[in-house]
Structure 1
Amino acid sequence: MSFASVILALVTLQRLGELVLARRNTERLLARGAIEVGARHYPLIVLVHAGWLTALWIWGRNQDVNLAALAALLLLQGLRQWILATLGPRWTTRIIVLPGTPLVGSGPYRHFPHPNYAVVAGEIALLPLALHLPVLALIFTVLNLAVLAIRIRAESRALSVADWPRVSTP
């Protein structure tokens, strides 16, 4: 098994684990009275991410690895963990709004409005670059940005419905 295949296997397992976590968090939030907003664009997100991983497996599994791009990708994983820890049970892959619950304004959300989207955008570009696939990096970066434009608009609308307080935790 090549080093590239090991990296792809780890990323694939990470994404599958995140889907399990997201589903569990979504179910718990919905049970508490949360609502999903902007669900119509969600299949596009799934399609872009599944296409990205599939393309990487097809064209990248036996590639040499650019260690500088891999190092940058690993740094993003630290930010991803910070995001997951900050949002805790509120982290999902969907837009789930729990009325009466303040917005999170701590952790990376204190510094960036959409840190998770920034991490994902970085990953979508960096992993293909780490596998010497710049065309895939460009194609999926553009596709991801298009889907994110839709998603961020939907999320901003959902979060601006009420004057949500921000909650900061140490």
Structure 2
Amino acid sequence: MYFIIFICFFIFQRLSELYIAKQNQKWLLQQGAVEYGREHYPYIVAMHTLFIVSIIAEYYYRGEPPLQPVFLGIFILLLLFKFWVISSLGKYWNTRIFRVPNASPVVKGPFKFLRHPNYVEVICEIAIIPLIFQLYYTAIIFTILNAIMLTVRIRVENRVWSK
């Protein structure tokens, strides 16, 4: 029962983020934003979709392992951090890479301390979420895939902001 509630919440959260990103994308484009990294974005979507599928598959394959409260607590803290990141970026937050001409990078909130706090959060999330239900294969495989994906993405983003 806990798993079904959790996975429904997680899927709803991800869909909500996509909705916010779509709304922000409209605003960004109205400001003259240019999108970068389009070629790798479908791979990011595929990886995150397969991440959810893998969580569900491994959970049932492993015989419905119990919830681990410590990792659930860490996940809740990660959500609070994510909300801080999103609220700090405001209309600039997106799942895609956009740059509005003459705009400077955001330097408030967690961006005062970290260059890419949103990616730090995603790294932690990919590793922690499967551990809530002892899904070690998903945690390991998707942590590696995410590291590869973020290597590409951060390079693109750094290039965009160095112009």
TM-score by length of 2: 0.95
Q: CA RMSD in A?
A: 1.0
Give the superposition deviation at 1:31: 1.6
Matching of residue 64 in structure 1 with residue 63 in structure 2: no
Distance 1:123 1:38 in 2: 22
2:150 maps to 1:148: yes
Residue segments in structure 1 that go unaligned for 5+ positions in a row: 162-170
SS state at 1:96 partner:
strand
- Alignment match, 1:118: 120
- Structure 2 matches for 1:55-94, cutoff 5 A? 55-60=54-59, 62-94=64-96
Secondary structure of the residue aligned to 1:138 is: helix
Give the TM-score of the pair, scaled to structure 1: 0.91
Q: Structure 2: where are the runs of 5+ without partners?
A: none
- Give the deviation of 1:65 after TM superposition: 0.5
**1:52 pairs with 2:51:** yes
Q: Distance in 2 between matches of 1:30 and 1:60?
A: 40
Query: Post-superposition shift, 1:59?
Result: 2.3
Alignment of 1:32-43 (within 5 A): 32-43=31-42
**Does the 8 Å contact 1:4/1:63 carry over to 2?**
no
Say if 2:24 is the partner of 1:25. Answer: yes
The match for 1:98 is 100
* Percent pairwise identity: 36
The amino acid of 1:4's aligned partner reads: F
Q: CA deviation at 1:5?
A: 1.3
Residues 104-142 of structure 1: CA distance to partner in whole angstroms, max 9, x if unpaired? 011000001111111111111111111111111000000
1:152 & 1:88 partners in 2: Cα distance? 20
In 1, the alpha carbon distance for the partners of 2:95 and 2:144 equals 20
For the 8 Å contact 1:22–1:91, the answer to whether it is kept is: yes
> What is the rounded CA distance, in whole Å, between the counterparts of 1:159 and 1:134 in structure 2?
36
